[in-house]
């Protein structure tokens, strides 16, 4: 009886707490298919009965998810309640699961404005697998390849060059270091994966990230980078914890000389007093922060100006550090280009967390956005962000003017968010991009120009000339000058100049089996290349395919060492 009373008390308190009203949808330009569902009372009541939802909720959509236990496909409902967006799904064998989908309903509807048909891609012209394979494998998310159903081309490709690692992070997607075997594709296999990616049509991806494991444990990583460069990859990232490049500047320079563009640097905190840091193997928080600072120093020494700080963020872990990380990025903007925040996804090793721990650590994109607003004292508000597919208009305009295919960021708008910070040297203040540029007027004009350019012929030239009209939306003189250079040249180099004068903020929330949404993953534009010839979307790879791929190409640790010794190859551990 003693245990029952607190539970009853909690239920009464929950029932008596004022419930926040449903968001006023009249403020948003929602796509027609959403409006039809949201305003159809008969459909709303049918869905509520089907999924057992109370009357005070509002159903946004119905999708397909998976059971977190057995991975079978099951129906999922996404709905609004108490100013948040939730998901609910039921497995006939393992019961009902409910999880937070988006922590701010108002911002969710705002982002849905970019879920219109013009922001949805058409996929690749030459899928790597056919419809028979897709159906035989069990459709999405089991039948990846890329398959004919997938709607988005590869914008950023990833190749895991090893599963070896010199850390053991509890949130590792790849469960690196602890697998008990070595997965390390040969140079020949990596070349074939690169060629498979470059064969994609109509857009052959030109951005690649080498990941792992810890890719810098491979002494031949510079050779791999040169290979990618020779095959046409213009942008080459190395995803690293920074340990080796902090302690071996010659190796860092070898990567740069080989053609590496960007260091994608694990960066969970810069606060030496954060005792809860998860990147803990061999490093207390002070040593962890020291490694990151040394990477920045080494970058300056060798003239490298492109580092992305990658923050795996969780509630009650490092969510209170994001303001300090942004300050650090601004202070080091000569080398730091982006802060990329990844709300923790409970995939890989993180899947071992208990339901209670998942509830404790779960944080969503709007939760991060609202935390940033608080820690920057409102200088970066939640309305300064746009969905990650916002650049679709720019890509389509450049494509129409040049006549050449371009990368189109046609992923789902709720997969990510971004903004830019411009540092005003005169006022010594940070300005979000919305204070520097009228981004909404800018985007509308881009679509207007696109409608002219797609007519072809002389209209292409007219649209190309009229792109200079976009400068009128730039409110800040200094930023206007560098943007004008990009609008005239429309090339990768001039785009780089724009980036060197700002620091980007991005948030990408990768999915796990608890919040998995098939509708989202079918529009993913971040894809892994596998040695078996397939190209696999990020969230399906890390939740369903990684073990199968690695086990197909794994090697016993002792056998791997024997081969290295027989070849007289040095091994970095």
Per-residue pLDDT of the chain (573 residues; tens, 9 = 90+): 233 323 332 333 344 567 889 999 999 999 999 999 999 999 999 999 999 999 999 999 999 999 999 999 999 999 999 999 999 999 999 999 999 999 999 999 999 999 999 999 999 999 999 999 999 999 999 999 999 999 999 999 999 999 999 887 777 766 655 678 899 999 999 999 999 999 999 999 999 999 999 999 999 999 999 999 999 999 999 999 999 999 999 999 999 999 999 999 999 988 887 766 554 444 577 788 889 999 999 999 999 999 999 999 999 889 999 999 999 999 999 999 999 999 999 987 777 788 888 888 999 999 999 999 999 999 999 999 999 999 999 999 999 999 999 999 999 999 999 999 988 777 888 999 999 999 999 999 999 999 999 999 999 999 999 998 888 998 877 677 767 767 676 666 666 666 667 899 999 999 999 999 999 999 999 999 999 999 999 999 999 999 999 999 998 888 888 887 777 666 665
Q: Residue 531's CB: how many other CB atoms inside 10 A? A: 20
DSSP string covering 142-159: TS-SS-TT-----SEEEE
Measure the CA dihedral 391/523/50/40, to 10°: 40
Is beta strand 73-81 parallel, antiparallel or unpaired with respect to 156-160? unpaired
Residue whose pair of structure tokens reads 């001039």 in the numeric block: 494
Q: Report cis status (omega within 30 of 0) of the bond before 542.
A: no
Are the C-beta atoms of residues 60 and 37 closer than 8 Å to each other? Answer: yes
Are the C-beta atoms of residues 420 and 432 closer than 8 Å to each other? Answer: yes
CA nearest neighbour of 126 among 109, 150, 108? 150
What value does the CA radius of gyration of the chain take, rounded to a whole number of Å?
24
d(CA 309, CA 344) in angstroms, rounded, equals 15
CA nearest neighbour of 400 among 461, 479, 342, 354? 461
Are the C-beta atoms of residues 524 and 518 closer than 8 Å to each other? Answer: no
d(CA 527, CA 524) in angstroms, rounded, equals 8
- pTM for this prediction: 0.92
CA nearest neighbour of 411 among 320, 523, 490? 523
Q: Which residues does 546 contact at the CB level (< 8 Å), separation at least 6?
A: 173, 174, 175, 348
CA nearest neighbour of 176 among 281, 70, 263? 281
Where does residue 566 fall: left (phi above 0), alpha (psi -120 to 50 degrees), or beta otherwise? alpha
Where does residue 480 fall: left (phi above 0), alpha (psi -120 to 50 degrees), or beta otherwise? alpha
Are the C-beta atoms of residues 112 and 118 closer than 8 Å to each other? Answer: no
Q: pLDDT digits over 461-511, tens only?
A: 999 999 988 889 988 776 777 677 676 766 666 666 666 678 999 999 999
Q: What is the largest CA-CA distance in the chain?
A: 82
Q: Residue 314's CB: how many other CB atoms inside 10 A? A: 24
């Amino acid at each position: 009886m003693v245990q029952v009373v607190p539970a009853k008390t909690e239920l009464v308190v929950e029932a008596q707490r004022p419930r926040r009203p449903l968001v006023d949808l009249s403020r948003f330009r929602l796509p027609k298919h959403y409006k039809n569902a949201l305003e159809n009372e008969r459909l709303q009541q049918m869905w509520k009965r089907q999924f057992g939802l109370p009357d005070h909720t509002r159903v946004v959509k119905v999708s397909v998810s998976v059971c977190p236990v057995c991975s079978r496909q099951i129906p999922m409902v996404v709905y609004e309640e108490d100013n948040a967006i939730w998901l609910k799904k039921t497995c006939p064998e393992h019961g009902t699961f409910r999880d937070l989908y988006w922590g701010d309903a108002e911002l969710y509807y705002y982002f849905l404005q970019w879920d219109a048909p013009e922001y949805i891609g058409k996929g690749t012209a030459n899928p790597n697998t056919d419809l028979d394979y897709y159906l035989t494998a069990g459709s999405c998310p089991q039948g990846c390849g890329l398959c004919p159903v997938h709607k988005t081309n590869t914008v950023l490709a990833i190749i895991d060059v090893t599963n070896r690692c010199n850390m053991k992070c509890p949130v590792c997607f790849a469960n690196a270091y602890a697998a008990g075997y070595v997965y390390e594709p040969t140079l020949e296999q990596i070349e074939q994966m690169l060629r498979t990616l470059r064969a994609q049509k109509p857009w052959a991806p030109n951005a690649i990230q080498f990941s792992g494991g810890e890719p810098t444990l491979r002494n031949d990583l510079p050779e791999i980078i040169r290979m990618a460069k020779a095959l046409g990859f213009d942008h080459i990232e190395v995803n690293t914890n920074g340990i080796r490049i902090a302690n071996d500047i010659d190796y860092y320079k070898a990567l740069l000389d080989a053609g590496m563009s960007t260091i994608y640097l694990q960066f969970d905190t810069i606060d030496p007093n954060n005792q809860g840091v998860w990147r803990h193997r061999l490093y207390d928080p002070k040593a962890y922060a020291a490694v990151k600072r040394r990477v920045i120093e080494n970058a300056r020494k060798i003239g490298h100006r492109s580092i992305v700080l990658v923050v795996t963020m969780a509630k009650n872990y490092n969510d209170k550090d994001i303001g300090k990380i942004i300050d650090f990025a601004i202070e080091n903007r000569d080398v730091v280009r982006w802060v990329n925040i990844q709300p923790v996804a409970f995939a890989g090793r993180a899947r071992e967390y208990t339901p209670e721990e998942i509830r404790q650590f779960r944080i969503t994109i709007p939760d991060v956005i609202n935390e940033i607003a608080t820690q920057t004292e409102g200088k970066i508000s939640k309305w300064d962000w746009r969905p990650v597919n916002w650049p679709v208009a720019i890509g389509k305009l450049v494509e129409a003017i040049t006549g050449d295919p371009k990368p189109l960021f046609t992923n789902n708008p709720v997969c990510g968010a971004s903004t830019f910070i411009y540092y005003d040297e005169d006022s010594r203040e940070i300005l979000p991009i919305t204070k520097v540029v009228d981004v909404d007027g800018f985007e509308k004009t881009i679509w207007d120009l696109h409608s002219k350019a797609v007519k072809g012929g002389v209209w292409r030239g007219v649209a190309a000339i009229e792109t200079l009209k976009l400068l009128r939306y730039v409110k800040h003189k200094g930023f206007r000058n560098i943007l004008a250079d990009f609008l005239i040249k429309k090339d990768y180099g001039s785009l780089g100049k724009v980036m060197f004068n700002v620091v980007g903020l991005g948030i990408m929330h990768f999915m796990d089996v608890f919040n998995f949404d098939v509708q989202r993953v079918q529009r993913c534009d971040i894809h892994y290349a596998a040695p078996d010839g397939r190209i696999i979307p990020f969230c399906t790879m890390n939740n369903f395919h990684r073990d199968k791929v690695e086990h197909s190409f794994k090697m016993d640790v002792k056998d791997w060492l024997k081969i290295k010794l027989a070849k007289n190859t040095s091994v970095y551990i």
